[in-house]
Structure 1
Amino acid sequence: MNVLVQGAGALGGYFGGRMLEAGLDVSFFLREKRAAQLRKEGLKINSPEGNFETADVTIYTSVEEVKNIDLVILAVKGYHLDQVIPQVTAIVRQTGAFVLPLLNGVEQLDRLQEAVGSEKVLGGFASIMATLNEQGHVVHTSGNSAVKFGALHDGQVEICEQLEEVNRLVNTNLLREEDIKKHMWKKYIFITSFSGITSAMQLPAGFVVDNDASFTTARRVVYEMKLLAEMEGVAITDQEVEHMADKLKRFPKEATSSMHQDMRKGLPLEVEHLHGGAFRLAEKHGVTIPVIETLYGILKPYENGKIDGQV
């Protein structure tokens, strides 16, 4: 199986690197700036799961260069989706590849299915705490990592079986799920709460759970997201929701969300893709989500990164 990873930030760099480490045929499609950095520094991963580095990385920066690809792993931020859809469309058209998007949220499925066809877009997401350092090396800070994926169309069973086989080779987890859409929603519910509260407070998890008012806010986000999931035909039990809320309490006190990390660095935020997406679903179904709407309003000014004049 020939895999093209589109994007080599912490997410794409980590999982693409783990597949390279296992000897799989993996290449990267990147913007020029990141491509130049990767050519200079190589791909380096620092991780509790084991370090890895290689200078032997195949990189493409133009669609015309891409040939013989079976699977595109889309590992970009939500705010880059509009930019990459034309590239993904062209790559699928000339290679016939399937697409596995690892973006948070759910809106990307409809967008990509409209662009390349519903039979080409798998469901999936990633779970990892990682960032890039100044040299562009991947720094994985948690003790585990996983990509969960699954078929959304009968024609995707074979490619899912092939990817499932890869799991035994790689130093991470590539896990196939039968009800992948429900798993995507569970991730969306949790990350909307966790990223929203840590970014709005500009504090890590320990401060959220140590203050009843802060934890109550995070918990209410989870229940508002549960309502949206049900409106979209995805059943989430109260027990599952409580488990998501209590997950905050099990994090190390210094743990925080990738959105909060981006905010501290003055980088763009996925607020429109996550909280904005939830707001659009609420409008679609005629329901109110006041806590998410409040977090959306607080974070929206930081959407494009550091605000001029702010420390």
Structure 2
Amino acid sequence: MNILVHGAGALGAYFGGRLLESGQNVSFFVREKRAGQLKERGLKINSPEGRFEEKDLTIYTKPEEVESIDLIILAVKGYHLEQAISQIQTIVRQTGAFVLPLLNGIEHVETLQQAVGKVKVIGGFASIIATLTEDGYVEHTSASGTIKFGILHEEQKEICKQLEEIHSHAKMNLIREEIILKHMWKKYIFITAFSGITSAMQLPAGFINKSQASFKAAKNVIYEMSKLARLEGITLSDQEVDVMANRLKGFQEEATSSMHQDMRKGLFIEVEHLHGAALRIADKHDSSIPVTETLYGVLKPYEHGNPNW
């Protein structure tokens, strides 16, 4: 399969590297600065799943250069989606490729469908704990990275079958889900709560256990977001919701969310893509999500990095 990974941060570089390692024809679409770094130093993964390094990479920085692609794995942050849209449109128009977005949240699915058509956008998301070093190498610290995916349109069956077949050859999980939207919502629900509370506390996961008030706030976000999912037609049992809430206490003490990591580094955070989107969905249904709205208000000043006075 000819795969283009759009974005080579920790997530894109990790999964792109593992796909390269498995024998797939993988190229990368990145900004000029990252392209220079990859050309000079190559792609390197340090991971419990095994080290991987590759210096002979195919790299694009202009969408007009891209040819013969079957699948675009979109691995950018939510705040870079608007910039990526026109690039994705050009590449899909030139190649006919399908798009598998690995962004957090749910709102981006409709945005992409409007940009390239419903047929072309596959459902999916990623689960991984990884970061980039100053040298641009991937430090992967969790169990096996996972991509879950599934069809949102009947014409996606063949490309999803091909993607599923890669699983047995790769040092990562490629899991096909029949009801992918439900799984995407469950990820969205959980990450909105976990990223919101760790970032608002500006403390790692261990403090969710240490403070009953903090746990209750995060748990209430789970319940509010689950209500939105049901309003959007996603069936979630009370047990599934309770399992998500209890997961908040299952992390190692020093573990934290990617949003909190970005916040500590003074980088952009995905508060608009996660919490802001939840408020827009709530407004559509004339529904109230007060705890999520409060976290949004607390985190919004950090959206573009450390606030300037």
Work out whether the TM-score is over 0.5.
Answer: yes
- Distance (Å, rounded) in 2 between the aligned partners of 1:38 and 1:244: 38
Query: Does residue 20 in structure 1 map to residue 14 in structure 2?
Result: no
In structure 1, the partner of 2:225 is 225
Uncovered stretches (5+) of structure 2, i.e. residues with no partner: none
Aligned 1:56-67 pairs, distance under 5 A: 56-67=56-67
Match of 2:208, as an amino acid? V
In structure 2, the partner of 1:197 is 197
2:4–2:26 CA contact under 8 A, matched in 1: yes
Query: Does residue 29 in structure 1 map to residue 29 in structure 2?
Result: yes
In structure 1, the partner of 2:47 is 47
- Distance (Å, rounded) in 2 between the aligned partners of 1:248 and 1:282: 23
In structure 2, the partner of 1:99 is 99
Match of 2:133, as an amino acid? N
2:20–2:26 CA contact under 8 A, matched in 1: yes
1:48 shift after superposition: 1.1
In structure 2, the partner of 1:153 is 153
In structure 1, the partner of 2:77 is 77
In structure 1, the partner of 2:240 is 240
- Distance (Å, rounded) in 2 between the aligned partners of 1:204 and 1:98: 37
TM-superposition CA deviations, 1:62-104 (whole Å, max 9, x none):
0111000000000000000100000001100000000000001
- Distance (Å, rounded) in 2 between the aligned partners of 1:209 and 1:237: 25
In structure 1, the partner of 2:266 is 266
2:204–2:254 CA contact under 8 A, matched in 1: yes
- Distance (Å, rounded) in 2 between the aligned partners of 1:43 and 1:308: 35
TM-superposition CA deviations, 1:180-224 (whole Å, max 9, x none):
000000000000000000000000110011110000000000000
- Distance (Å, rounded) in 1 between the aligned partners of 2:129 and 2:210: 22
Uncovered stretches (5+) of structure 1, i.e. residues with no partner: none
User: Secondary structure at the residue paired with 1:124?
Assistant: strand
- Distance (Å, rounded) in 1 between the aligned partners of 2:279 and 2:298: 14
**Please, what is the CA RMSD of the aligned residues?**
0.7
In structure 2, the partner of 1:275 is 275
- Distance (Å, rounded) in 2 between the aligned partners of 1:145 and 1:246: 22
- Distance (Å, rounded) in 1 between the aligned partners of 2:243 and 2:56: 42
1:308 shift after superposition: 3.0
TM-superposition CA deviations, 1:92-138 (whole Å, max 9, x none):
00000000000011111100101101000000000001111111111
Query: Does residue 174 in structure 1 map to residue 180 in structure 2?
Result: no
For normalisation by structure 1, the TM-score amounts to 0.98
1:39 shift after superposition: 1.0
User: Secondary structure at the residue paired with 1:134?
Assistant: coil
2:144–2:171 CA contact under 8 A, matched in 1: no
- Distance (Å, rounded) in 1 between the aligned partners of 2:61 and 2:236: 41
User: Secondary structure at the residue paired with 1:249?
Assistant: coil
- Distance (Å, rounded) in 1 between the aligned partners of 2:70 and 2:230: 34
In structure 2, the partner of 1:109 is 109
TM-superposition CA deviations, 1:119-158 (whole Å, max 9, x none):
0000000000111111111111112210000000000000
Match of 1:26, as an amino acid? V
* Segment of structure 1 superposing worse, 6-15 or 137-146: 137-146
- Distance (Å, rounded) in 2 between the aligned partners of 1:57 and 1:243: 42
TM-superposition CA deviations, 1:149-168 (whole Å, max 9, x none):
00000000000000000111
User: Secondary structure at the residue paired with 1:306?
Assistant: coil
Query: Does residue 284 in structure 1 map to residue 287 in structure 2?
Result: no
Aligned-pair identity (%): 67
Query: Does residue 211 in structure 1 map to residue 202 in structure 2?
Result: no
1:52 shift after superposition: 0.8
- Distance (Å, rounded) in 2 between the aligned partners of 1:45 and 1:11: 11
Match of 1:213, as an amino acid? A
TM-superposition CA deviations, 1:14-55 (whole Å, max 9, x none):
000000111210000001011111111110111111111110
For normalisation by structure 2, the TM-score amounts to 0.99
- Distance (Å, rounded) in 1 between the aligned partners of 2:97 and 2:5: 12
- Distance (Å, rounded) in 2 between the aligned partners of 1:241 and 1:255: 22
1:238 shift after superposition: 1.1
